[in-house]
């Protein structure tokens, strides 16, 4: 990777990935793509170039790729799962029509492409525990439908046209920087904000609902390491299961309570999110990622909780 374009650079993943990529590859070599209304601010705006890149506008993507001689595109434009259920056509337009634009530009300009998939690419008939790398993927959500279709489309472009597409299936991502918007796993971010603000947390997901989660520093490393991996070692491309921790609301609550004993939580289950969560795996098997490109997470629940509480209490002061 020499010249990188991030589409969706001000979102939950993009805002942190952009800064991390700039620290490794140089500020001027990483273009922060954004849509009007979501302009980069602060450090992100000051540390390198930024351009309007709407994923639904193929010409805009092509122009920026040519202008900066881009060789790698991080395609991070997407609606999260709960929002996508309410706006299914827009979710498809961004997730699939948008991806097709990216893949065509990549084919014409010989770019590598990273497009995240998700635990949401599985449905209720996939094995729940130790969900294998290669198994049945029949999601019931529009988010999942776009993720599976995106995996297939990306593999097709690799096989048919030799486009270097690679991807990981992200778990719920937890970070203290940019909040997620409208995902099913968002509760695992919100709970830390309530804890640090000294508020009772109202949990929208039922006790006993286990989902894969990951701390953002591990997720960023995964996104970079997969694109830097030796292609001769990759048997899979789109998309690798990755995992680091799996918990339900009771487990994360107990992990926070260890450090903030007065913290309280009560349940008010959100039917939409609960339905989505119930259709997703409890815990993925990430053996292939470990074997094929050395995936190895650093954070577990306890080390993440300590870091989240520490960083958030400084930010919210």
Does 145 sit near ligand SER (CB under 6 A)? no
298-303 CB contacts, 8 Å cutoff, 24+ apart: 298/217, 298/218, 298/221, 299/214, 299/215, 299/217, 299/218, 299/244, 299/245, 300/244, 300/245, 301/245, 301/247, 301/251, 301/252, 301/255, 302/255, 302/258, 303/215
Question: Quick check: 81 binds ligand SER (CB under 6 A)?
Answer: yes
C-beta of 40 vs 180, nearer to ligand SER: 180
Size of the site for ligand SER (CB under 6 A): 11
Among 35, 119, 220, 301, binds ligand SER (CB under 6 A): 119
Tell me how crowded residue 306 is: count the other CB atoms within 10 A of its CB: 14
Tell me if 131 contacts ligand SER by CB under 6 A. Answer: no
When binding is defined by CB under 6 A, the residue of 8, 40, 120, 204 that contacts ligand SER is 120
Report residue 74 CA to chain centroid gap. Answer: 11
Q: Does 281 bind ligand SER (CB under 6 A)?
A: no
Give the Å distances, CA to CA, from 293 to 127, 181, 233, 262.
Answer: 24, 30, 7, 43
List the one residue from 183, 204, 249, 281 that touches ligand SER (CB under 6 A).
Answer: 183
Active site includes 143?
yes
Q: Under the criterion CB under 6 A, does residue 209 sit at the interface with ligand SER?
A: no
For ligand SER, which is the closer residue by CB, 48 or 171?
171
CA triple 8-5-23, angle to 5 deg: 95
Comparing CB distances to ligand SER, the nearer of 31 and 119 is: 119
Q: How far is CA 164 from CA 90, 226, 233, in A?
A: 27, 11, 14
Establish if 80 lies at the interface with ligand SER (CB under 6 A): yes
Chain residue at closest Cβ approach to ligand SER: 183
Catalytic residue numbers read 143
Contacts with ligand SER by CB under 6 A lie at: 80-81, 118-120, 143, 170, 172, 183-185
């Amino acid at each position: 990777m020499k010249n990188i374009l991030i589409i969706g650079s001000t979102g939950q993943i993009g805002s942190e990935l952009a800064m991390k990529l700039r620290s490794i590859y140089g500020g001027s070599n990483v273009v922060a793509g954004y849509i009007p209304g979501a302009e980069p601010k602060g450090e992100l705006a000051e540390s390198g170039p930024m351009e309007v890149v709407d994923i639904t506008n193929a010409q805009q993507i092509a122009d920026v790729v040519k202008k900066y001689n881009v060789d790698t595109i991080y395609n991070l434009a997407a609606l999260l799962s709960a929002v996508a259920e309410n706006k299914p056509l827009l979710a498809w337009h961004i997730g699939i029509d948008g991806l097709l634009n990216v893949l065509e530009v990549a084919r014409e300009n010989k770019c590598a492409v990273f497009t995240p998939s998700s635990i949401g690419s599985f449905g209720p008939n996939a094995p729940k525990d130790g969900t294998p790398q290669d198994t049945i993927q029949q999601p019931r959500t529009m988010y999942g439908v776009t993720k599976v279709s995106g995996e297939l489309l990306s593999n097709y472009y690799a096989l048919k046209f030799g486009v270097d597409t690679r991807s990981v299936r992200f778990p719920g991502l937890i970070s203290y920087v940019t909040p997620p918007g409208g995902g099913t796993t968002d509760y695992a971010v919100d709970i830390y904000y309530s804890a640090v603000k000294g508020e009772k947390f109202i949990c929208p997901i039922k006790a006993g609902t286990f989902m894969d989660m990951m701390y953002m520093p591990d997720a960023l490393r995964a996104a970079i390491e997969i694109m830097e991996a030796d292609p001769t070692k990759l048997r899979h491309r789109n998309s690798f299961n990755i995992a680091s921790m799996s918990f339900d609301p009771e487990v994360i609550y107990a992990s926070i309570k260890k450090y903030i004993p007065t913290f309280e939580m009560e349940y008010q289950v959100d039917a939409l999110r609960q339905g989505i969560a119930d259709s997703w795996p409890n815990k993925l098997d990430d053996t292939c990622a470990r074997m094929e490109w050395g995936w190895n997470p650093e954070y577990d629940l306890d080390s993440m909780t300590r870091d989240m509480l520490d960083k958030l209490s400084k930010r919210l002061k």
